[in-house]
């Protein structure tokens, strides 16, 4: 079993939760807009609405696992 490390930042004023996977890769959950975004190199690479499909804990775990695996690839360029 792999251990993945990331920092989680809660911004209650803007109703966001940011997972900093790597300095170049973040996952942002925006509860105010019901969106999840993948931010790479400071730009939104992917944005998905969560209005019609709630995000389960299993879904979030899979997203974070995939992001951590992508971060491992990015580390080769550090």
Tell me: the pLDDT tens digits for 17-70? Answer: 999 999 989 999 999 888 999 999 999 999 999 887 777 888 888 888 888 888
Report yes or no: 37 and 18 within 8 Å, Cβ to Cβ: no
Report yes or no: 25 and 70 within 8 Å, Cβ to Cβ: yes
Give every strand in the sheet of 25-30, ordered side by side: 7-11, 16-22, 25-30, 35-40, 43-49
Asked if residue 2 is part of any domain, the answer here is: no
Check residue 37 and give its pLDDT: 94
Asked if residue 1 is part of any domain, the answer here is: no
Asked if residue 13 is part of any domain, the answer here is: yes
Residue 3: pLDDT over 80: no
Task: Indicate the number of domains in the chain.
Answer: 1
Q: CA–CA distance from 60 to each of 12, 14, 29, 54, 75 (Å)? A: 19, 20, 10, 11, 22
Asked if residue 11 is part of any domain, the answer here is: yes
pLDDT band at 1 (very low <50, low <70, confident <90, very high): low
Domain residues for the domain of 72 are 7-77
pTM of the predicted protein model: 0.83
Average pLDDT over residues 5-13: 93
The gap between the terminal CA atoms of the chain, to the nearest Å, is 25
């Amino acid at each position: 079993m792999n251990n993945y490390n990331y920092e989680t930042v809660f911004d209650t004023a803007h109703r966001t939760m940011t997972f900093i996977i790597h300095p170049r890769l973040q996952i942002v959950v925006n509860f105010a807009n019901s969106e999840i975004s993948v931010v790479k190199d400071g730009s939104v690479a992917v944005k998905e609405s969560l209005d019609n499909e709630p995000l389960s804990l299993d879904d979030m775990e899979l997203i974070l696992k995939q992001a951590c695996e992508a971060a491992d690839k990015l580390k080769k360029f550090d």
